[in-house]
Structure 1
């Protein structure tokens, strides 16, 4: 990677700050693989918009082998435009008060991390679960974190989970590995959402759907999907069904199959009343922005209990075998349907920028007053 200039201004010299009385804004560098096709990019995009007014923000790209020849995710590109920032390649040395490296799993095919990292605090946001159901590693965590650790020039090293469920996997991995140098952050690094909630329908119908990127980990087995999307449902739609489209004869004819990215998510969700979201039994969502999007759109969500727990009781947890009964119960009781969706929406409000940003700033700059006086 080539060296580049920072894309935002540095804080004023100490003397000027003393005269002006302006509080020093922390310098924050986001280091991210900007081509992730799923929730990581959505989370980073929201973070760029939310943090830019509060910190001197720089966004730097890691070019990894995982997403060779893929374009920058459009949500990240739009967020940078909105914030008046540019995406730059990482320079030989990244210097900031805090460096935030998103989703270390992007490094799993790399043999080295190019830039050196110089900051008072380096935070690795653990978008992917470190362990899977059964305790196996979700990816080669030790390798990825080792690449990062080997390039850090002092300061704190924190692992910041994106949810309570994600935190459990990180804590389990740290306990099992006794990895030196890394500390589990005291607070999570939540996804930021700025929802304009859609009111739930007062006439729910048995219209089921799910959407996600088309990775095999995102879907349960075909037998489970057949039960969750049966012929007697009024509608069964899957956005991100690329693998099923490749072998259309192997799946039920009543399924409406759409390739990933061919329809705006909001438009897709407008045509269903129930999001039925189960993954491969050996894999779990660390948060689930697809679920959050459905809640915002006023839909009732049914998913596995671990994933549901990240959203509260307004999202229904099930092992996948009770989907028919749950749908029927809520179609027959529209008041119950609406109350469940509104509960989920009320719980999701804790992800609004005004609720999340103060928590992120506390992780980025835990002692702002002390740092301010030291800089004067």
Structure 2
């Protein structure tokens, strides 16, 4: 039986890393995607990035490729191979990758394990052991060159080293021309690197020997000279220094004859992408002797003291200079991106994008086929947007075909219902600036619409993103906005003006409708339906069955604590208050806390937790709940006749949870406790643990209307009238 793969290749690294690492990763991703390999990107945060930073521009650019997807924190993926960059990343990351598996794991070692002074940069044994524990597969170590391979062996650990080096990719620029001579009447030498101390010689004499401060040569520096100036006392007046990013490296390299690179004696360059770019541009490259095994006759080698002798010798011999320039360009051609597809195939990895397409690719519109509906949700603070649309999608008739796309990291839940889905990383999730994310997301939405070709698009969220509206507007896409009411009174009304860009607006109902004082109440642009919940009354388990599945005894007294909307704010103090009260005043109660699928972080130590979806299925297992008053929880617990202490989350941007909680309290259906008044919370808990009060509240809740708007919305999307 053939193994079913969700993707072909999973790339794991810290995508915030600047410079060569993510540049090389991006080249591999682009090469394999172009060759038909499906790819998922999994971010592994590490302390190699010491400040808050977004993903590298190189990665953001390649993530727009149709065969590339960003995995959410909850994605469950089976791949043919996992490729990990940077051993230090995997050594330091707290990520567990518990939902990711693969037949093979390749660790690309792109930096030296030991520096020139014998200091370890990563522990080979510890990294190897950690990888086996994480993925259950012995990893293949793939050093990018002989320098790295030698330092791995230097630690004396028996690891599974591949036979051939995992060469970095570098496409020769289309405009790359062979050199015809020198660029000036004197040698022009240059270097391109970040202004880090390790990138420069440690001694002033060495720096000036390699990059003289005189008129015999012209010195060009791209990347700044602050590290050199600190050693020298100042930057030589004859140097022409350009800050890092101040000029396109390709343009810079065309202005120099010799690319001369010497560095701190502790540093061991693993590959040197800047050197490769210089070779591609036709510059003659001069390097320390230890790199001869990496570059062979493509470069020239010297010591700091003899580097200028080599420069002058080749400047005096034009024919030798041109021959060396051509050797360097020929060497770079061996690193063509086509190399990557070959080595993946040599590992037994087969590209499947062209065979099966992406998870959401379906045939183009044809006659006599199912009506295709694309459901799109915003990121949101919790699970409300996804759950509402799931309710609708699961109630569509057989002649409809639902497809999902979401900015929520919990979108993989849709897969449990047998529906295809796409994760589109949110701005915060990808660490992008607003303008950059707008370009990225617009392109992703365009690709999505072209591939799915939906008959109708349904968006659930309070802020229809400009990039999203631009994408469906360009295609004159039939679009519906599922717009929840109960907005706070002071919420911006700007998004409401965008309703005219949709063909219809559907408004899910609110049990607390009479307490809605927000801006949507003045509008008459929506078709109003009943409140939406994922499950209907008949879908809920009986009390005995729910308790059996959760492991509770029939006579246990169980309270459910579900205060978090996901990741929106800190609820730790509230949880501590609840736990403390039960420990002191009602120790016989079983206190169970939930962890939503969207949440990050660990559960409280020693506290009984529950993480199931949909949680509403187990409503009858509990005697009462202490809950935030988000749309989902409010309607699920109220319709499920679960007495609840409502603690509204007032940190939400638009959702008026306070109004819902007040309504429930005024109707005798629950208790309302502001989140900043713990003394009222303790009084409410005392009242709820009184069985007489619970029975009275339960009887009132039993009379609540159970009409589910999910079925009504499904009918509307199929062209039916209510």
Query: CA 1:330 to 1:64, structure 2 compared with 1: closer, same or farther past 3 Å?
Result: same
CA deviations 1:154-187 (Å, max 9, x no partner) are 23311111112222222332xx234xxx411222
User: Where does residue 40 of structure 2 map in the other structure?
Assistant: 58
Other-structure match for 2:244: 260
Which residue of the partner structure matches residue 295 of structure 2?
311
2:505 is matched with which residue? none
- Deviation (angstroms), 1:239: 1.8
Matching of residue 120 in structure 1 with residue 99 in structure 2:
no
Which of these residues, 17, 33, 42, is aligned with residue 23 of structure 2?
Answer: 42
Give per-residue Cα distances to partners, 1:288-308, cap 9 Å, x unaligned. 110010011110000112224
Give the alignment partner of residue 264 of structure 2, picking from 258, 280, 289: 280
Structure 1, unaligned runs of 5 or more: 1-12, 18-23, 369-376
The answer for the alignment partner of 1:329 in structure 2 is 313
Question: Is the 2:91–2:130 contact (alpha carbons within 8 Å) kept by the matching residues of 1?
Answer: no
The answer to whether structure 1 residue 177 and structure 2 residue 157 are counterparts is yes
**1:130-141 mapped onto 2 (5 Å cutoff):** 130-133=113-116, 135-141=118-124
Deviations 1:92-132 (A, max 9, x none): 7653121111112235554x333134211111100111122
Tell me the SS of whatever aligns to 2:268.
Answer: coil
Distance 1:83 1:177, change over 3 A: same
Given that residues 93 and 115 in structure 1 are in contact (C-alpha distance below 8 angstroms), is that contact kept between their aligned partners in structure 2?
no
Classify 1:250/1:147 alpha carbon distance in 2 versus 1 (closer, same or farther; 3 Å). Answer: farther
**Cα gap change, 1:329 to 1:242, in 2 (>3 Å):** closer
Are 1:207 and 2:191 counterparts?
no
Structure 1 residues 172, 227: closer, same or farther in 2, change over 3 A? same
2:298–2:327 Cα contact (<8 Å) kept: yes
Equivalent residues of 2:302, 2:310 under 8 A apart: no
Segment of structure 1 superposing worse, 266-275 or 67-76: 67-76
Q: Which of 197, 210, 224 in structure 2 is aligned with 1:241?
A: 224
Between the aligned partners of 2:311 and 2:72, the Cα distance in structure 1 is 48
Counterpart in the other structure of 2:281: 297
Change (3 A) 1:249 1:122: same
Is residue 120–residue 155 contact of structure 1 (8 Å, CA) maintained in 2? Answer: yes
Contact 2:12 2:41 in 1 (8 A): yes
**Cα distance in structure 1, aligned partners of 2:319 and 2:189:** 19
Q: Measured at CA, do residues 141 and 218 of structure 1 come closer, stay the same or move farther in structure 2, by a change above 3 Å?
A: farther
> Aligned equivalents of 1:14 and 1:308: distance in 2?
46
Contact between 1:240 and 1:258, CA under 8 Å: does it hold in 2? yes
Once the two structures are TM-superposed, the CA of residue 146 in structure 1 deviates from its matched residue by 4.5
Q: Please name the residue that 1:4 is paired with.
A: none
Match in the other structure for 2:201: 220
Which sections of structure 2, spanning at least 5 residues, go unmatched?
A: 353-722
Match of 2:326 among 342, 359, 373: 342
Shift of 1:142: 4.4
| 1:150 and 2:101 matched | no
Note the C-alpha offset of 1:285.
Answer: 0.8
How far apart are residue 278 of structure 1 and its match?
1.3
Q: In structure 1, how many angstroms separate the alpha carbons of the residues matched to 2:61 and 2:17?
A: 15
Q: Secondary structure at the match of 1:81?
A: coil
SS at match of 2:61: helix
Please report the TM-score for the alignment, with normalisation by the length of structure 2.
Answer: 0.44
Structure 1 vs Structure 2 CA RMSD: 2.8
Query: Would the alpha carbon gap of residues 99 and 267 (structure 1) be closer, same or farther in structure 2, given more than 3 Å must change?
Result: same
Name the TM-score, length of structure 1 as normaliser: 0.82
- Are the counterparts in 2 of residues 217 and 280 from structure 1 also a CA contact under 8 Å? yes
SS of residue in 2 equivalent to 1:159? strand
Contact 1:127 1:162 in 2 (8 A): yes
Structure 1 contact 94–115 (Cα < 8 Å) conserved: no
Question: How far 1:82 sits from its partner (Å)?
Answer: 4.1
> 1:157 and 1:165 mapped to 2: Cα distance?
20
- Structure of higher RCO (CA pairs closer than 8 Å, 6+ residues apart): 1
Q: Secondary structure at the match of 1:122?
A: strand
